[in-house]
Each structure stands twice: as structure tokens, then as C-alpha cells.
Structure 1
Amino acid sequence: MTETIKTHVILLSCGSFNPITKGHIHMFEKARDYLHKTGRFIVIGGIISPVHDSYGKPGLVSSRHRLTMCQLAVQSSDWIRVDPWECYQDTWQTTCSVLEHHRDLMKRVTGCILSNVSTPSTTPVIGQPQNQTPPIYQNHNNMNHKPNAIKLWGKLSESLGKICCVRPHIERFTFVDENANLGTAVRYEEIELRILLLCGSDLLESFCIPGLWKDSDMEVIVGDFGIVVVPRDGADTERIMNHSSILRKYTDNIIVVKDATNHPMAIVSSTKSRLALQHGDSHVVDYLSQPVIDYILQSQLYITASG
């Protein structure tokens, strides 16, 4: 399967990241590896979106700290970025609204549309915007220089960084001006691009709790976007999905990451990380990267049980 036929994917992970752990980053890497092995997908980017301060979770530290820790955790990654949009809103945002924001934002900054899971794969949904001059790449002897989706993601990340909204203490973060126009300089091949929600099996299981999620939101998240699930502690994802009529309805839109190794909950759990910090447990280095640990100690975070 050629690169232009494969579905190009941006993985989006929402959560408290209080603090962000090695396991959170490992989930991205594990999901990307698995999607590539299927031969159907190319992962061109990853987005970490920390939750708003008004989420109300006990012990949730300020988004200023959580954004900084997330940025420190991905500073060596060339494909995962931290997005502060969710934290900058007036109040808490649903996962559904975060997905829709990033889909709409990509439409605006590229001038093109993104597909959802019901879009036929034979239909090109990312390409040269309509009503503009033809693509400049007409020399078929020089096709290797034609930008692919991965180059597009790099170009967008670079451009979005230049038009970031500078805010106190978090100037390093990409914040996109929704009225920004990147112009017509970026031209690229026609590809199919989707934003998929990346989550652990614990979030998948939460879909089965009556009243916790709106059915309409679940329809959008699983039906329109699709999700990639990284099982934790040997969770039986098939059993979980059988407990929800909506998950059963959209089984084909749920990609369960499978490999020979288990993904232990301990290295993902922010709760276990906070407890290790409070008790001075040396195993905290198994959960958190050193830059994140250094920042936590410097800022005196999670020292008490209340956060």
C-alpha cells in the first residue's frame, strides 16, 4: 500500500496529566508502532491536550504547571506536541469539543478538510484547496520533492509556532491564532487525514458507566473520529466493548493496540506517581522522566496529599 493510499493519522490524547508520566508518552509510541505495522496508517503527529483547571479533580495542580511538565516530557520528541487550547478556555471542555476544535483548526490552517471514519478511503480529503492556482508540483521527474503528510505536519508545527499567542510563563507552547492564514505556500499531495483519540482501556471502560458520558458525545467521538486503545494491565477490551451499545455499534472504529508485551498501569498512573513523590519513593524514576521530576521538586508540587 503506497503512502498516499494509507490513512494519515494525528493522535490526540486528553487528560489531567497530573503529572504526565513515562507511560503517557509510551502510549503514543506504542500506538504509532502498531498503526504502522497494520500497513493501513501513517502517524504524522501526536497532540497532548491537558484538561482545564475547572475540571474539579482533587489535587489537580494549575494548568501552568501541567503544561510545563508536559512540554518537558516531550522536549526530545520530533512528532508529539503539547497544545494549551483546552487550558486557555473559560471553562472545562468535553473531549468531544476538543476533538472538534482540532479538526476545525486543521481545516482553517490548511485550507482543506479532514475525513471522519465514514469517509470512503478512496476519496481524497486533503489536497490542494479549491479555487486556487494549480499545484506547483507538475514535474513528474521530480516527484521525490513533493511534500508528503509528514513534511506537512513539520511545516505546520513550524508555522504554528511562529504565530503562537505569547502568554505569561508558557511562551514555549504552540497556541494557534484561529484567524491565522498560512497562505498558499504549503502545497501537498492528496491524502486522507484523520484525528483519532488515543486512550487507555480505563477510558474505554468509562464509556460503559451509565450517565458518565453523553450518548451524543460518544457517537461523535467513536462514530465520527474513532479511537485507538492501548490496553492496560491485560484489560479485556472485547468484554468492555460488549457492555456498551454504542461501542458495539462502532467496533470497526475502535483500534485496539496489540503486541506481545503488556502495558502496566503503574507507569501510566499519575496517582501512583504522586504517591511515590509524597513518600519519597525512589521508584518515582520508573514513572516520571527526570526533567519532570526536577520541575516538580523545584516547584514543590505534590508534596502533600492534597496536591
Structure 2
Amino acid sequence: MTENTKTHVILLSCGSFNPITKGHIHMFEKAREHLHKTGRFIVIGGIISPVHDSYGKPGLVPSRHRLTMCQLAVQSSDWIRVDPWECYQGTWQTTCSVLEHHRDLMKRVTGCILSNVNTPSTTPVIGQPQNQTSAIYQNRNTVSKPTVVKLWGKMSESFGKICCARPNMDRFTFVDENANLGTAMRYEEIELRILLLCGSDLLESFCIPGLWKESDMEVIVGDFGIVVVPRDGTDTERTMNHSSVLRKHKDNIIVVKDDINNPMAIVSSTKSRLALQHGDGHVVDYLCQPVIDYVLQSQLYINASG
């Protein structure tokens, strides 16, 4: 497949990130590597979306700390960004609503048409310019189509102003999403999708009766699709068979192949918090040094209540 015929993907990970661990970053890297190896996808970006403070999880530190730790964890990455939108809302947002927000935002910022995972576009995906100004890449015969590098670069110029730029650590601000972004870029024959990236523990939660609204699961798995990175040797095949929605949309679930002995597979925020509370030196195996420094400086997780 040529670059333009491959599906361009943005990986979105939702969660507490309390704190963000090396395992979270590893999940992004392994997912991108796996998707590229299939020959069908090009991962052009990753988004970390920390949960709102009103989620109510015991020991959840304020979002200003969690956002900062996430920023520190990805400061050397050229493709993973932190998005504060979810934290800035008036209340807790469902995973479904976060996915839909980013889908709608990407439509406005990129001019691309985002197709559902289970109903791929049968025609070239062409973004519509927002005004009458001549569109870039309008002449197929004389101007080359955008490469993935150009696509992500151009997207970042506008997208970064809204939610993916790394803001000042002391204050998180972003441009109003309804602001005038100028002429939208026109990307020809590029299919763009947002996929939910998660660990197998989230997949297992889909099987807990009453925890998820079935309508939300239909949208998450049926319309968007998910990329699962197994943890602790979880049998994802068995998990999927326990849910009618997961079985129905099995083709939309991409399971990443990872080394079962990879130490990152057992890293968790819970273990990290316990290590911090007990002064366990193994915390360096769980968290990157800038995050550890910030935790110590801010005196986070020094007791069982967070």
C-alpha cells in the first residue's frame, strides 16, 4: 500500500494518569510499532487525555498536577501530546464524548473527513476549505499530495494551538475551539481515524455488567475502534468472548503483540503510588525522572489518600 492509501491514525488514551508511568508511554510506542507493521496504518499522532477531577476516584490528585506530569513525561516525544480539554470541562466526561470531541475537532482543524472504522470511505477523503480562498494541493498534476510528515506538520500548526501544544507548566491555556482557524488544509485521498488506545484492563471492564452504557460501547468499539495492549498476560481473546458488543465488533479491536515478559507490562499507577509512599527505590522503574522530581517537589502521593 502507498502512504496515501493507508489509514492515518491518531491514538487517543483516556485515563486517570495518576501518575503517568513509563508503562503508559510504552503502550503508545508498542501500539504505533504494531500498527505500522501491519502495513495498513500510519500513526501520525498520539493524544493523552487525563480524566476530570470530578471522576471521584480515591487518591486522584488535582488535574493541574496530572496534566503537568503528563507534559513532563512526553516532553521529549515528537508525536505524543497532552490534551487538557477533558480536565477543563464542567464535570466528568465519558470516554465516548471525549472521542467524539476529538473527532469533531479534527474535522474543523484539518478539513479531513473522518470515517468510522467499520465503514471505511469508498471515495477519496477530501477536506473542504472553510472559505473561498484557493485550496492548497488543488492541482493534482502539478502539486504533490501531502505526505504523512506534511500532514502531521500542518495539522500540528493549528491543532497544537487548540489542545496539543505543550503549555507553560504554571498555566494551561488553549485557544477557544470555535476560534477562526483560517483556511483549512485540503488533504486528498487521506483517510484519518481516531482510535482509542487502552490496556487490557479497560477491555475487561467492558464485560462488567452495568459499568458501561451499551450505547457508548457501540460507539467506542463500533464507530471508532480500539487498540489494546495486553497487560499481565491477559487473555484478550477470552475477554472479548464475554461481551456481546466486543464479539459483534471484534474486527474493530486490534490487539498489539508484545513480549509477555516485558517489564512495562506490569507497571501501573497503583504500584507507582505505593512505591512513592514507601520510599521504594523501584519507583525509578515505573516513572520517568522528571515526573519523580515533580512528585517530590509537589509532595504528591505521600500518604494513602494521595
Query: Do these two structures clear the TM 0.5 threshold for a shared fold by scoring above it?
Result: yes
2:210 is paired with a residue of what secondary structure? coil
Moved more, 112-121 or 224-233: 112-121
Deviations 1:100-123 (A, max 9, x none): 000011112223321111323543
Unaligned runs of 5+ in 2: none
The question of whether the paired residues in 2 share the 8 Å contact of 1:128 and 1:190 is answered with no
TM-score, normalised via structure 2 length: 0.92
Q: Equivalences for 1:52-71 in 2 at 5 Å?
A: 52-71=52-71
Moved more, 164-173 or 130-139: 164-173
The answer on 1:177 being equivalent to 2:179 is no
2:69 is aligned with what amino acid?
M
Unaligned runs of 5+ in 1: none
Deviations 1:123-178 (A, max 9, x none): 323435488545445374652xx4324422222223344467999965466x3422
Q: Within 2, Cα distance between the matches of 1:238 and 1:167?
A: 40
In the other structure, the counterpart of 2:293 is: 294
1:120 is paired with a residue of what secondary structure? coil
Go from structure 1 to structure 2 and tell me whether the alpha carbon gap of 1:207 and 1:176 turns closer, same or farther (over 3 Å shift).
farther
In the other structure, the counterpart of 1:105 is: 105
In the other structure, the counterpart of 1:250 is: 249
Go from structure 1 to structure 2 and tell me whether the alpha carbon gap of 1:263 and 1:95 turns closer, same or farther (over 3 Å shift).
farther
1:4 is paired with a residue of what secondary structure? helix
Q: Within 2, Cα distance between the matches of 1:224 and 1:185?
A: 25
1:138 is aligned with what amino acid?
N
Alpha-carbon shift at residue 71 of structure 1 (Å): 0.2
Go from structure 1 to structure 2 and tell me whether the alpha carbon gap of 1:186 and 1:111 turns closer, same or farther (over 3 Å shift).
closer
Go from structure 1 to structure 2 and tell me whether the alpha carbon gap of 1:149 and 1:184 turns closer, same or farther (over 3 Å shift).
farther
1:273 is aligned with what amino acid?
S
In the other structure, the counterpart of 1:51 is: 51
In the other structure, the counterpart of 2:267 is: 268
In the other structure, the counterpart of 1:217 is: 216
1:10 is paired with a residue of what secondary structure? strand
User: Percent of aligned positions with the same letter in both sequences?
Assistant: 85
TM-score, normalised via structure 1 length: 0.91
The question of whether the paired residues in 2 share the 8 Å contact of 1:267 and 1:287 is answered with no
Alpha-carbon shift at residue 258 of structure 1 (Å): 1.1
Q: Equivalences for 1:17-36 in 2 at 5 Å?
A: 17-36=17-36
Moved more, 188-197 or 120-129: 120-129
Go from structure 1 to structure 2 and tell me whether the alpha carbon gap of 1:266 and 1:43 turns closer, same or farther (over 3 Å shift).
closer
Q: Within 2, Cα distance between the matches of 1:206 and 1:35?
A: 24
Alpha-carbon shift at residue 58 of structure 1 (Å): 0.4
